[in-house]
Structure 1
Protein backbone atom coordinates (compact mmCIF):
# COMPACT_ATOMS: atom_id res chain seq x y z
CA UNK A 1 0.00 0.00 0.00
CA UNK A 2 2.77 2.49 0.91
CA UNK A 3 4.61 1.88 -2.36
CA UNK A 4 1.48 2.56 -4.44
CA UNK A 5 0.58 5.60 -2.35
CA UNK A 6 4.06 7.13 -2.73
CA UNK A 7 3.87 6.55 -6.48
CA UNK A 8 0.59 8.52 -6.48
CA UNK A 9 2.08 11.36 -4.42
CA UNK A 10 5.45 11.75 -6.18
CA UNK A 11 5.59 11.95 -9.96
CA UNK A 12 9.36 12.47 -9.80
CA UNK A 13 10.05 9.30 -7.79
CA UNK A 14 10.08 5.69 -8.88
CA UNK A 15 9.21 3.59 -5.81
CA UNK A 16 10.62 0.08 -5.57
CA UNK A 17 9.57 -2.54 -3.04
CA UNK A 18 11.24 -5.93 -3.26
CA UNK A 19 8.17 -7.70 -1.91
CA UNK A 20 6.06 -6.59 -4.86
CA UNK A 21 8.55 -5.59 -7.57
CA UNK A 22 10.67 -8.75 -7.81
CA UNK A 23 9.22 -11.48 -9.98
CA UNK A 24 9.29 -15.09 -8.90
CA UNK A 25 12.17 -17.09 -10.30
CA UNK A 26 14.56 -14.14 -10.45
CA UNK A 27 17.67 -13.50 -8.36
CA UNK A 28 16.34 -11.17 -5.67
CA UNK A 29 19.66 -10.16 -4.10
CA UNK A 30 21.06 -8.91 -7.41
CA UNK A 31 17.91 -6.91 -8.12
CA UNK A 32 17.88 -5.43 -4.60
CA UNK A 33 21.57 -4.46 -4.93
CA UNK A 34 20.84 -2.78 -8.28
CA UNK A 35 17.92 -0.84 -6.79
CA UNK A 36 19.92 0.12 -3.70
CA UNK A 37 22.72 1.45 -5.91
CA UNK A 38 20.32 3.78 -7.70
CA UNK A 39 18.21 4.88 -4.74
CA UNK A 40 18.55 8.35 -3.27
CA UNK A 41 15.96 7.91 -0.53
CA UNK A 42 15.02 4.76 1.33
CA UNK A 43 12.05 4.11 3.56
CA UNK A 44 12.46 1.05 5.75
CA UNK A 45 9.38 -0.25 7.55
CA UNK A 46 10.55 -1.42 10.97
CA UNK A 47 8.58 -3.59 13.37
CA UNK A 48 9.51 -5.12 16.72
CA UNK A 49 9.89 -8.44 14.92
CA UNK A 50 12.21 -7.27 12.12
CA UNK A 51 14.28 -4.43 13.59
CA UNK A 52 17.32 -6.70 14.15
CA UNK A 53 17.00 -8.74 10.95
CA UNK A 54 20.26 -8.83 8.96
CA UNK A 55 18.58 -7.64 5.74
CA UNK A 56 17.36 -4.45 7.46
CA UNK A 57 20.92 -3.59 8.49
CA UNK A 58 22.22 -4.49 5.00
CA UNK A 59 19.70 -2.28 3.22
CA UNK A 60 20.13 0.64 5.62
CA UNK A 61 23.90 0.48 5.21
CA UNK A 62 23.70 0.21 1.43
CA UNK A 63 21.26 3.12 1.26
CA UNK A 64 23.31 5.38 3.51
CA UNK A 65 26.48 5.22 1.45
CA UNK A 66 27.76 8.42 -0.05
CA UNK A 67 28.39 8.43 -3.80
CA UNK A 68 29.77 11.44 -5.62
CA UNK A 69 29.06 13.62 -2.57
CA UNK A 70 25.32 13.02 -3.06
CA UNK A 71 23.34 12.88 0.14
CA UNK A 72 21.55 9.58 0.67
CA UNK A 73 18.48 9.48 2.91
CA UNK A 74 17.35 6.54 5.03
CA UNK A 75 14.15 6.88 7.02
CA UNK A 76 12.99 4.07 9.29
CA UNK A 77 9.22 4.13 9.67
CA UNK A 78 8.13 2.41 12.88
CA UNK A 79 4.96 0.31 12.90
CA UNK A 80 4.59 -1.19 16.37
CA UNK A 81 7.47 0.66 18.01
CA UNK A 82 8.06 4.05 19.57
CA UNK A 83 11.17 6.02 18.64
CA UNK A 84 12.64 5.15 22.06
CA UNK A 85 12.14 1.41 21.31
CA UNK A 86 14.41 1.51 18.27
CA UNK A 87 17.82 -0.06 18.93
CA UNK A 88 20.85 -1.08 16.93
CA UNK A 89 22.26 0.50 13.77
CA UNK A 90 18.95 2.08 12.73
CA UNK A 91 19.16 4.55 15.62
CA UNK A 92 21.65 6.63 13.61
CA UNK A 93 18.84 7.62 11.21
CA UNK A 94 16.01 10.07 11.86
CA UNK A 95 13.04 7.72 12.29
CA UNK A 96 9.32 8.39 12.51
CA UNK A 97 6.27 6.49 13.67
CA UNK A 98 3.96 5.33 10.88
CA UNK A 99 1.07 7.67 11.74
CA UNK A 100 -0.21 10.90 10.20
CA UNK A 101 2.58 13.06 11.65
CA UNK A 102 5.25 10.51 10.75
CA UNK A 103 4.01 10.05 7.20
CA UNK A 104 3.87 13.82 6.73
CA UNK A 105 7.48 14.02 7.95
CA UNK A 106 8.44 11.24 5.50
CA UNK A 107 6.64 12.92 2.58
CA UNK A 108 8.24 16.28 3.42
CA UNK A 109 11.68 14.63 3.57
CA UNK A 110 11.21 12.85 0.24
CA UNK A 111 10.00 16.10 -1.34
CA UNK A 112 13.12 17.86 -0.03
CA UNK A 113 15.35 15.11 -1.46
CA UNK A 114 13.61 15.53 -4.82
CA UNK A 115 14.04 19.32 -4.72
CA UNK A 116 10.32 20.02 -4.51
CA UNK A 117 8.75 23.14 -3.08
CA UNK A 118 7.58 22.49 0.50
CA UNK A 119 4.15 24.07 -0.08
CA UNK A 120 3.52 21.77 -3.04
CA UNK A 121 4.58 18.73 -1.01
CA UNK A 122 2.21 19.74 1.80
CA UNK A 123 -0.67 20.14 -0.68
CA UNK A 124 0.08 16.70 -2.10
CA UNK A 125 0.08 15.21 1.40
CA UNK A 126 -3.22 16.92 2.21
CA UNK A 127 -4.68 15.61 -1.07
CA UNK A 128 -3.51 12.01 -0.75
CA UNK A 129 -3.45 11.32 3.01
CA UNK A 130 -7.24 10.83 3.38
CA UNK A 131 -7.06 8.22 0.58
CA UNK A 132 -4.29 6.35 2.45
CA UNK A 133 -6.26 6.38 5.70
CA UNK A 134 -9.34 4.97 3.99
CA UNK A 135 -7.26 2.31 2.22
CA UNK A 136 -5.61 1.27 5.51
CA UNK A 137 -9.06 1.00 7.11
CA UNK A 138 -10.26 -1.27 4.30
CA UNK A 139 -12.57 1.31 2.71
CA UNK A 140 -12.79 0.60 -1.04
CA UNK A 141 -12.88 4.36 -1.72
CA UNK A 142 -9.24 4.44 -0.64
CA UNK A 143 -8.00 2.37 -3.56
CA UNK A 144 -6.49 3.96 -6.63
CA UNK A 145 -9.03 5.16 -9.11
CA UNK A 146 -8.70 6.96 -12.40
CA UNK A 147 -8.15 10.61 -11.60
CA UNK A 148 -7.60 10.02 -7.87
CA UNK A 149 -4.51 12.25 -7.90
CA UNK A 150 -6.36 15.44 -8.69
CA UNK A 151 -9.60 16.82 -9.93
CA UNK A 152 -10.95 16.62 -13.47
CA UNK A 153 -12.23 19.88 -14.89
CA UNK A 154 -14.79 19.92 -17.69
CA UNK A 155 -12.22 19.19 -20.39
CA UNK A 156 -11.56 15.81 -18.80
CA UNK A 157 -7.87 16.45 -18.13
CA UNK A 158 -6.62 15.97 -14.61
CA UNK A 159 -5.53 19.06 -12.72
CA UNK A 160 -2.55 18.11 -10.59
CA UNK A 161 -1.79 19.89 -7.28
CA UNK A 162 1.79 20.33 -8.61
CA UNK A 163 1.75 22.85 -11.47
CA UNK A 164 5.31 22.06 -12.62
CA UNK A 165 5.88 19.98 -15.76
CA UNK A 166 5.78 16.20 -15.29
CA UNK A 167 9.09 14.34 -15.35
CA UNK A 168 9.97 12.20 -18.31
CA UNK A 169 10.18 8.44 -17.61
CA UNK A 170 14.00 8.44 -17.52
CA UNK A 171 14.19 11.39 -15.13
CA UNK A 172 12.35 9.79 -12.21
CA UNK A 173 14.49 9.14 -9.13
CA UNK A 174 14.47 5.78 -7.42
CA UNK A 175 12.79 5.57 -4.05
CA UNK A 176 13.24 2.34 -2.12
CA UNK A 177 10.41 1.20 0.16
CA UNK A 178 11.10 -1.96 2.16
CA UNK A 179 8.96 -3.76 4.70
Structure 2
Protein backbone atom coordinates (compact mmCIF):
# COMPACT_ATOMS: atom_id res chain seq x y z
CA UNK A 1 0.00 0.00 0.00
CA UNK A 2 1.39 3.41 -1.00
CA UNK A 3 1.81 5.84 1.88
CA UNK A 4 -0.27 9.03 1.81
CA UNK A 5 1.86 12.16 1.69
CA UNK A 6 1.25 14.68 4.49
CA UNK A 7 2.74 18.14 4.01
CA UNK A 8 3.77 20.07 7.14
CA UNK A 9 4.45 23.77 6.55
CA UNK A 10 6.28 26.13 8.90
CA UNK A 11 8.02 29.51 8.87
CA UNK A 12 10.66 30.53 11.40
CA UNK A 13 12.86 28.14 13.39
CA UNK A 14 10.62 28.03 16.51
CA UNK A 15 7.72 26.65 14.47
CA UNK A 16 10.03 24.04 12.94
CA UNK A 17 10.30 22.47 16.40
CA UNK A 18 6.50 22.04 16.46
CA UNK A 19 6.51 20.70 12.88
CA UNK A 20 8.94 17.96 13.84
CA UNK A 21 6.76 16.87 16.76
CA UNK A 22 3.77 16.71 14.42
CA UNK A 23 5.70 14.52 11.98
CA UNK A 24 6.78 12.15 14.74
CA UNK A 25 3.24 11.87 16.13
CA UNK A 26 1.65 11.12 12.77
CA UNK A 27 4.23 8.45 12.00
CA UNK A 28 3.56 6.82 15.38
CA UNK A 29 -0.23 6.98 14.98
CA UNK A 30 -0.46 5.89 11.34
CA UNK A 31 2.76 3.86 10.94
CA UNK A 32 3.64 3.38 7.27
CA UNK A 33 0.29 4.73 6.05
CA UNK A 34 1.64 8.28 5.95
CA UNK A 35 4.76 9.88 4.53
CA UNK A 36 5.33 13.18 6.38
CA UNK A 37 7.17 15.88 4.47
CA UNK A 38 8.34 18.97 6.38
CA UNK A 39 8.71 21.95 4.07
CA UNK A 40 11.97 23.79 3.54
CA UNK A 41 11.72 27.55 3.86
CA UNK A 42 13.31 29.15 0.82
CA UNK A 43 14.23 32.76 0.24
CA UNK A 44 11.48 34.66 -1.56
CA UNK A 45 13.70 35.42 -4.53
CA UNK A 46 14.41 31.78 -5.36
CA UNK A 47 10.92 30.30 -5.08
CA UNK A 48 9.66 28.84 -8.34
CA UNK A 49 6.47 27.00 -9.20
CA UNK A 50 8.56 24.02 -10.31
CA UNK A 51 10.18 23.77 -6.87
CA UNK A 52 6.85 24.12 -5.09
CA UNK A 53 5.16 21.51 -7.25
CA UNK A 54 8.08 19.12 -6.74
CA UNK A 55 7.74 19.44 -2.97
CA UNK A 56 3.94 19.25 -2.88
CA UNK A 57 3.38 16.61 -5.55
CA UNK A 58 0.99 13.96 -4.27
CA UNK A 59 0.22 15.59 -0.91
CA UNK A 60 -3.29 14.68 0.33
CA UNK A 61 -3.27 16.54 3.65
CA UNK A 62 -1.46 19.56 5.06
CA UNK A 63 -0.77 20.98 8.51
CA UNK A 64 0.27 24.64 8.66
CA UNK A 65 2.20 25.35 11.88
CA UNK A 66 0.98 28.86 12.70
CA UNK A 67 2.30 31.23 15.36
CA UNK A 68 1.56 34.82 16.28
CA UNK A 69 4.89 35.78 14.73
CA UNK A 70 4.60 33.87 11.44
CA UNK A 71 0.86 34.02 10.68
CA UNK A 72 1.40 36.69 8.03
CA UNK A 73 4.67 35.31 6.66
CA UNK A 74 4.74 35.57 2.89
CA UNK A 75 6.05 32.05 2.35
CA UNK A 76 3.68 30.35 4.82
CA UNK A 77 0.55 31.88 3.29
CA UNK A 78 1.64 31.27 -0.27
CA UNK A 79 2.56 27.68 0.50
CA UNK A 80 -0.82 27.09 2.18
CA UNK A 81 -2.57 28.54 -0.87
CA UNK A 82 -0.72 26.33 -3.30
CA UNK A 83 -1.45 23.23 -1.20
CA UNK A 84 -5.18 24.00 -0.97
CA UNK A 85 -5.51 24.55 -4.73
CA UNK A 86 -4.11 21.14 -5.62
CA UNK A 87 -6.07 19.12 -3.05
CA UNK A 88 -9.50 17.64 -3.83
CA UNK A 89 -12.47 19.97 -3.43
CA UNK A 90 -14.60 18.20 -0.84
CA UNK A 91 -15.91 18.79 2.67
CA UNK A 92 -12.97 17.17 4.44
CA UNK A 93 -10.61 19.55 6.26
CA UNK A 94 -7.46 18.75 4.28
CA UNK A 95 -5.52 21.95 5.09
CA UNK A 96 -5.35 22.55 8.84
CA UNK A 97 -3.56 25.55 10.39
CA UNK A 98 -2.28 24.49 13.83
CA UNK A 99 -2.43 27.52 16.15
CA UNK A 100 0.51 27.28 18.55
CA UNK A 101 0.57 30.36 20.80
CA UNK A 102 -2.87 31.88 20.30
CA UNK A 103 -5.47 32.27 23.02
CA UNK A 104 -8.36 32.25 20.55
CA UNK A 105 -8.94 31.69 16.84
CA UNK A 106 -10.18 35.26 16.40
CA UNK A 107 -6.60 36.46 16.96
CA UNK A 108 -5.53 35.00 13.61
CA UNK A 109 -5.47 37.44 10.70
CA UNK A 110 -4.90 37.05 6.98
CA UNK A 111 -5.55 34.29 4.43
CA UNK A 112 -5.09 31.40 6.88
CA UNK A 113 -8.48 32.22 8.41
CA UNK A 114 -10.15 30.64 5.36
CA UNK A 115 -9.05 27.17 6.52
CA UNK A 116 -10.36 25.02 9.38
CA UNK A 117 -7.97 26.07 12.13
CA UNK A 118 -7.22 23.98 15.22
CA UNK A 119 -5.65 25.03 18.51
CA UNK A 120 -2.53 23.18 19.70
CA UNK A 121 -4.41 21.42 22.49
CA UNK A 122 -5.28 17.79 23.06
CA UNK A 123 -8.70 18.38 21.49
CA UNK A 124 -7.27 20.24 18.50
CA UNK A 125 -4.58 17.65 17.82
CA UNK A 126 -7.07 14.77 18.19
CA UNK A 127 -9.50 16.42 15.75
CA UNK A 128 -6.67 16.82 13.24
CA UNK A 129 -5.76 13.15 13.64
CA UNK A 130 -9.41 12.23 13.07
CA UNK A 131 -9.53 14.35 9.92
CA UNK A 132 -6.43 12.67 8.53
CA UNK A 133 -7.86 9.24 9.36
CA UNK A 134 -10.98 10.15 7.37
CA UNK A 135 -8.88 11.22 4.39
CA UNK A 136 -7.01 7.91 4.59
CA UNK A 137 -10.28 5.99 4.78
CA UNK A 138 -9.00 4.40 7.99
CA UNK A 139 -10.85 3.31 11.12
CA UNK A 140 -11.08 6.56 13.06
CA UNK A 141 -11.73 4.91 16.44
CA UNK A 142 -8.60 2.76 16.19
CA UNK A 143 -6.33 5.71 15.49
CA UNK A 144 -8.06 7.88 18.08
CA UNK A 145 -7.40 5.24 20.73
CA UNK A 146 -3.77 4.99 19.68
CA UNK A 147 -3.48 8.77 19.77
CA UNK A 148 -4.85 8.86 23.32
CA UNK A 149 -2.19 6.48 24.54
CA UNK A 150 0.61 8.31 22.74
CA UNK A 151 -0.61 11.70 23.97
CA UNK A 152 -0.58 10.66 27.61
CA UNK A 153 2.77 8.88 27.49
CA UNK A 154 4.80 11.14 25.22
CA UNK A 155 3.26 13.78 23.01
CA UNK A 156 1.48 15.97 25.55
CA UNK A 157 4.89 16.82 26.99
CA UNK A 158 6.55 17.00 23.58
CA UNK A 159 4.03 19.54 22.24
CA UNK A 160 4.18 21.55 25.47
CA UNK A 161 7.96 21.82 25.17
CA UNK A 162 7.74 22.75 21.49
CA UNK A 163 5.08 25.38 22.23
CA UNK A 164 7.30 26.81 24.98
CA UNK A 165 10.08 27.29 22.40
CA UNK A 166 7.65 29.36 20.31
CA UNK A 167 6.36 31.38 23.27
CA UNK A 168 9.87 32.11 24.55
CA UNK A 169 11.14 33.07 21.11
CA UNK A 170 12.30 36.62 20.52
CA UNK A 171 10.74 36.68 17.06
CA UNK A 172 8.76 39.93 16.81
CA UNK A 173 4.98 39.69 16.72
CA UNK A 174 3.77 41.95 13.92
CA UNK A 175 0.96 44.43 14.31
CA UNK A 176 -2.31 43.44 12.60
CA UNK A 177 -2.01 44.25 8.91
CA UNK A 178 -4.47 46.33 6.92
CA UNK A 179 -6.73 44.25 4.72
CA UNK A 180 -5.26 45.89 1.61
CA UNK A 181 -1.85 44.41 2.49
CA UNK A 182 -3.36 40.94 2.90
CA UNK A 183 -5.12 41.39 -0.43
CA UNK A 184 -1.86 42.36 -2.11
CA UNK A 185 -0.29 39.14 -0.82
CA UNK A 186 -3.14 37.06 -2.21
CA UNK A 187 -2.72 38.86 -5.54
CA UNK A 188 0.96 37.98 -5.69
CA UNK A 189 0.16 34.31 -5.11
CA UNK A 190 -2.48 34.37 -7.85
CA UNK A 191 -0.01 35.92 -10.28
CA UNK A 192 2.50 33.16 -9.58
CA UNK A 193 -0.13 30.48 -10.07
CA UNK A 194 -1.38 32.06 -13.29
CA UNK A 195 2.18 32.34 -14.61
CA UNK A 196 2.70 28.63 -13.96
CA UNK A 197 -0.57 27.71 -15.63
CA UNK A 198 -0.37 30.00 -18.68
CA UNK A 199 1.57 27.55 -20.84
CA UNK A 200 -1.01 24.80 -20.29
CA UNK A 201 -3.85 27.18 -21.15
CA UNK A 202 -2.16 28.18 -24.42
CA UNK A 203 -1.62 24.56 -25.37
CA UNK A 204 -5.37 23.92 -25.21
CA UNK A 205 -6.04 26.59 -27.83
CA UNK A 206 -7.95 29.89 -27.82
CA UNK A 207 -11.32 28.21 -27.30
CA UNK A 208 -10.19 26.85 -23.93
CA UNK A 209 -9.14 30.23 -22.62
CA UNK A 210 -12.00 31.85 -20.67
CA UNK A 211 -10.85 35.24 -19.33
CA UNK A 212 -12.47 36.28 -16.06
CA UNK A 213 -14.99 39.07 -15.89
CA UNK A 214 -13.55 42.46 -14.91
CA UNK A 215 -14.18 43.47 -11.32
CA UNK A 216 -16.68 46.15 -12.37
CA UNK A 217 -18.97 43.37 -13.64
CA UNK A 218 -19.07 41.73 -10.21
CA UNK A 219 -22.61 42.39 -8.96
CA UNK A 220 -23.28 42.81 -5.23
CA UNK A 221 -26.93 42.00 -5.90
CA UNK A 222 -25.86 38.77 -7.60
CA UNK A 223 -23.75 37.85 -4.58
CA UNK A 224 -26.56 38.66 -2.12
CA UNK A 225 -28.92 36.49 -4.15
CA UNK A 226 -26.44 33.58 -4.15
CA UNK A 227 -25.99 33.82 -0.38
CA UNK A 228 -29.76 33.98 0.24
CA UNK A 229 -30.39 31.02 -2.08
CA UNK A 230 -27.76 28.93 -0.24
CA UNK A 231 -29.25 29.81 3.17
CA UNK A 232 -32.77 28.86 2.08
CA UNK A 233 -31.61 25.64 0.45
CA UNK A 234 -29.73 24.58 3.59
CA UNK A 235 -32.48 25.77 5.97
CA UNK A 236 -30.53 28.57 7.67
CA UNK A 237 -32.12 31.87 8.67
CA UNK A 238 -30.76 34.97 6.85
CA UNK A 239 -30.00 36.51 10.26
CA UNK A 240 -26.89 34.29 10.34
CA UNK A 241 -25.22 36.79 7.98
CA UNK A 242 -23.73 39.49 10.20
CA UNK A 243 -21.71 41.60 7.79
CA UNK A 244 -20.27 41.55 4.27
CA UNK A 245 -17.05 43.46 3.60
CA UNK A 246 -15.57 43.92 0.14
CA UNK A 247 -12.03 45.27 -0.15
CA UNK A 248 -10.71 46.21 -3.58
CA UNK A 249 -7.02 46.32 -4.36
CA UNK A 250 -6.19 49.86 -5.54
CA UNK A 251 -3.99 48.86 -8.47
CA UNK A 252 -5.62 45.70 -9.83
CA UNK A 253 -9.01 44.19 -10.62
CA UNK A 254 -8.92 42.10 -7.45
CA UNK A 255 -11.42 41.97 -4.62
CA UNK A 256 -11.53 40.13 -1.28
CA UNK A 257 -15.06 39.54 0.01
CA UNK A 258 -15.36 38.59 3.68
CA UNK A 259 -18.73 37.23 4.82
CA UNK A 260 -19.01 37.32 8.62
CA UNK A 261 -21.59 34.84 9.91
CA UNK A 262 -22.90 33.09 13.00
CA UNK A 263 -23.05 29.82 11.10
CA UNK A 264 -21.34 26.68 12.42
CA UNK A 265 -17.80 26.26 11.10
CA UNK A 266 -18.71 23.47 8.68
CA UNK A 267 -21.64 25.47 7.30
CA UNK A 268 -19.50 28.59 6.84
CA UNK A 269 -16.93 26.54 4.94
CA UNK A 270 -19.67 25.04 2.77
CA UNK A 271 -21.05 28.51 1.99
CA UNK A 272 -17.56 29.72 1.08
CA UNK A 273 -17.06 26.77 -1.29
CA UNK A 274 -20.48 27.38 -2.83
CA UNK A 275 -19.77 31.06 -3.49
CA UNK A 276 -16.35 30.42 -5.00
CA UNK A 277 -17.94 27.78 -7.23
CA UNK A 278 -20.92 29.93 -8.21
CA UNK A 279 -18.67 32.83 -9.18
CA UNK A 280 -16.14 30.69 -11.03
CA UNK A 281 -16.23 33.01 -14.03
CA UNK A 282 -14.43 35.64 -11.94
CA UNK A 283 -12.56 33.28 -9.62
CA UNK A 284 -9.20 34.85 -10.38
CA UNK A 285 -10.36 38.34 -9.43
CA UNK A 286 -12.81 37.78 -6.56
CA UNK A 287 -12.03 35.70 -3.48
CA UNK A 288 -14.61 34.74 -0.84
CA UNK A 289 -13.78 34.17 2.83
CA UNK A 290 -16.69 33.11 5.06
CA UNK A 291 -16.04 33.45 8.79
CA UNK A 292 -17.87 31.61 11.57
CA UNK A 293 -18.31 33.35 14.89
TM-score, normalising length: structure 1: 0.65
Aligned partner of 2:157 in structure 1 is 134
Deviation at 1:6, TM superposition (A): 1.3
| 2:63/2:98 contact within 8 Å kept | yes
Q: Deviations 1:27-60 (Å, cap 9, x if unpaired)?
A: 9866553231221100001001000011111111
Q: Secondary structure at the match of 1:64?
A: helix
Aligned partner of 2:138 in structure 1 is 116
| 2:39/2:55 contact within 8 Å kept | no
Aligned partner of 2:28 in structure 1 is 8
Structure 2 CA distance for aligned equivalents of residues 36 and 63 of structure 1: 7
Gaps (5+ residues) in structure 2? 1-20, 162-293
Structure 2 CA distance for aligned equivalents of residues 112 and 53 of structure 1: 30
Q: Secondary structure at the match of 1:65?
A: helix
Deviation at 1:100, TM superposition (A): 0.5
Q: Secondary structure at the match of 1:15?
A: strand
Q: How do 1:68-87 and structure 2 match up within 5 A?
A: 73-81=94-102, 82-87=104-109
Structure 2 CA distance for aligned equivalents of residues 72 and 135 of structure 1: 25
Structure 1 CA distance for aligned equivalents of residues 119 and 60 of structure 2: 21
Q: 1:83 to 1:45 in 2, by over 3 A?
A: same
Q: How do 1:1-179 and structure 2 match up within 5 A?
A: 1-11=21-31, 12-19=33-40, 32-66=52-86, 73-81=94-102, 82-130=104-152, 131-136=154-159
| 2:93/2:131 contact within 8 Å kept | no
| 2:133/2:140 contact within 8 Å kept | yes
Q: 1:63 to 1:72 in 2, by over 3 A?
A: farther
Structure 1 CA distance for aligned equivalents of residues 120 and 67 of structure 2: 10
Gaps (5+ residues) in structure 1? 139-179
Q: Which protein has the larger Cα radius of gyration, Structure 1 or Structure 2?
A: 2
| 1:66/1:72 contact within 8 Å kept | no
Structure 2 CA distance for aligned equivalents of residues 69 and 36 of structure 1: 16
| 1:96/1:102 contact within 8 Å kept | yes
Deviation at 1:99, TM superposition (A): 0.8
Structure 2 CA distance for aligned equivalents of residues 137 and 72 of structure 1: 24
| 2:84/2:95 contact within 8 Å kept | yes
The answer to which structure, 1 or 2, has the higher relative contact order (CA under 8 A, 6+ apart) is: 1
TM-score, normalising length: structure 2: 0.41
Q: 1:94 to 1:52 in 2, by over 3 A?
A: same
| 2:118/2:124 contact within 8 Å kept | yes
